[in-house]
Amino acid sequence: MCGAVQYYPYGTLGNLLYVFIDRANVLYNNRTTATSHKAQERFLKQSSSREGHNQRPKLVDGLGNFEPRDLQPREGPGENGKPHFLRQEQQNDADQSESQYGMNIACSDEISLDRSILDTRLEECKHWDYPTDLPSTSVIIVFHNEGWSVLLRTVHSVINRTPSYILKEVLLVDDFSDKENLKSGQLEKYIERFNGKVRLIRNTQREGLIRTRSKGAKEAKGEVIVFLDAHCEVNINWLPPLLAPIYRNHKTMTVPVIDGIDHKSWEVRPVYGDDRHFRGIFEWGMLYKENEVPMKELQTRKYNSEPYKSPTHAGGLFAINREYFLEIGAYDPGLLVWGGENFELSFKIWQCGGSIEWVPCSKVGHVYRSFMPYNFGKLANKKKGPLITINYKRVIETWFDEKYKEYFYTREPLARFLDMGDISEQIALKERLNCKNFQWYMENVAYDVFDKYPELPPNIHYGELRSGAVNKCLDTLGHGPPALMAISHCHGFGNNQLIRLNAKGQLGVGERCIEADAQGIKLAFCRLGTVDGPWLYDENTHVLLHRVHKKCMALHPQTSHLSLMPCDVNNTYQQWYFKQISVK
Closest CA to 59 of 143, 164, 137: 164
Please calculate the CA angle 553-554-560 and round it to the nearest 5 degrees.
Answer: 130
Q: Which lies closer to ligand LR7 via its Cβ, residue 191 or residue 507?
A: 191
Please calculate the CA angle 284-287-292 and round it to the nearest 5 degrees.
Answer: 90
Minimal CB distance to Mn ion: which residue?
A: 229
Q: Which stretch binds ligand LR7 (CB under 6 A): 87-95, 208-216, 217-225, 479-487?
A: 208-216
Residue 142: name its binding partner from Mn ion, ligand LR7, none (Cβ under 5 to 8 Å by kind). ligand LR7
Question: According to the binding rule CB under 5 A, does residue 175 interact with Mn ion?
Answer: no
Question: According to the binding rule CB under 6 A, does residue 337 interact with ligand LR7?
Answer: yes
Q: In Å, how far are 450, 468, 544, 569, 577 from 573, measured between CA atoms?
A: 38, 6, 11, 9, 11
Q: Which lies closer to Mn ion via its Cβ, residue 229 or residue 283?
A: 229
Q: Which lies closer to ligand LR7 via its Cβ, residue 121 or residue 144?
A: 144
Question: According to the binding rule CB under 6 A, does residue 365 interact with ligand LR7?
Answer: no
Question: According to the binding rule CB under 6 A, does residue 390 interact with ligand LR7?
Answer: no
Q: Are the beta carbons of 259 and 121 closer than 8 angstroms?
A: no
Q: Which lies closer to ligand LR7 via its Cβ, residue 359 or residue 531?
A: 359
Question: According to the binding rule CB under 5 A, does residue 233 interact with Mn ion?
Answer: no
Question: According to the binding rule CB under 5 A, does residue 283 interact with Mn ion?
Answer: no
Q: How many CB atoms lie within 10 A of CB 547?
A: 11
Q: Which stretch binds Mn ion (CB under 5 A): 192-200, 218-226, 228-236, 474-482?
A: 228-236
- Listed in sequence order, the residues at least 6 apart from 51 whose beta carbon sits closer than 8 Å to its beta carbon are 59, 125, 126, 127, 236, 237
Report d(CA 63, CA 162) in Å as an integer.
Answer: 6
Among 315, 360, 413, 534, binds ligand LR7 (CB under 6 A): 315
Closest CA to 197 of 246, 137, 243: 137
Between the two ends of the chain, the Cα-to-Cα distance in Å is 41
Q: Which lies closer to Mn ion via its Cβ, residue 315 or residue 354?
A: 315
Closest CA to 107 of 262, 271, 258: 262
Among 339, 494, 510, 534, binds ligand LR7 (CB under 6 A): 339
Q: Which stretch binds ligand LR7 (CB under 6 A): 30-38, 205-213, 455-463, 524-532?
A: 205-213
Q: Which stretch binds Mn ion (CB under 5 A): 20-28, 35-43, 226-234, 483-491?
A: 226-234
Residue 143: name its binding partner from Mn ion, ligand LR7, none (Cβ under 5 to 8 Å by kind). ligand LR7
Among 13, 200, 314, 565, binds ligand LR7 (CB under 6 A): 314
**Phi and psi at residue 134, in whole multiples of 5°?**
-65, 150
**83: exposed, middle or buried (Cβ count in 10 Å: 0-12, 13-18, 19+):** middle
Question: According to the binding rule CB under 5 A, does residue 515 interact with Mn ion?
Answer: no
Among 223, 229, 259, 297, binds Mn ion (CB under 5 A): 229
Site for ligand LR7, residues 108 to 147, rule: CB under 6 A: 142-144, 146
Please calculate the CA angle 100-106-110 and round it to the nearest 5 degrees.
Answer: 155
SS3 assignment, position 128: strand
**570: exposed, middle or buried (Cβ count in 10 Å: 0-12, 13-18, 19+):** exposed
CA dihedral 239, 244, 249, 255 (to 10 degrees): -40
| Binding-site size, ligand LR7 (CB under 6 A) | 25
Cis, peptide link before residue 360, omega less than 30° from 0: no
Question: According to the binding rule CB under 6 A, does residue 460 interact with ligand LR7?
Answer: no
Question: According to the binding rule CB under 6 A, does residue 342 interact with ligand LR7?
Answer: yes
Q: Which lies closer to Mn ion via its Cβ, residue 229 or residue 475?
A: 229
Helix (H), strand (E) at residue 552: strand 551-555
Find the shortest distance in angstroms from Cβ 366 to Mn ion. Answer: 6
Find the shortest distance in angstroms from Cβ 370 to ligand LR7. Answer: 11
Question: According to the binding rule CB under 6 A, does residue 175 interact with ligand LR7?
Answer: yes
Find the shortest distance in angstroms from Cβ 542 to ligand LR7. Answer: 41
Handedness of CA 134, 135, 136, 139 (dihedral sign): negative
Q: Are the beta carbons of 484 and 520 closer than 8 angstroms?
A: yes
Question: According to the binding rule CB under 5 A, does residue 259 interact with Mn ion?
Answer: no
Q: Which stretch binds ligand LR7 (CB under 6 A): 105-113, 242-250, 332-340, 480-488?
A: 332-340
Question: According to the binding rule CB under 6 A, does residue 332 interact with ligand LR7?
Answer: no
Question: According to the binding rule CB under 5 A, does residue 22 interact with Mn ion?
Answer: no
Question: Residue by residue, what is the 3-state secondary structure of 72-102?
Answer: CCCCCCCHHHCCCCCCHHHHHHHHHHHHHHC
Report d(CA 237, CA 494) in Å as an integer.
Answer: 47
Q: Which lies closer to Mn ion via its Cβ, residue 373 or residue 454?
A: 373
Among 2, 16, 19, 469, binds ligand LR7 (CB under 6 A): 19
Residue numbers at the binding site for ligand LR7 (CB under 6 A): 19, 21, 142-144, 146, 175, 208-209, 212, 229-230, 258, 314-317, 337-339, 341-342, 366, 372, 374
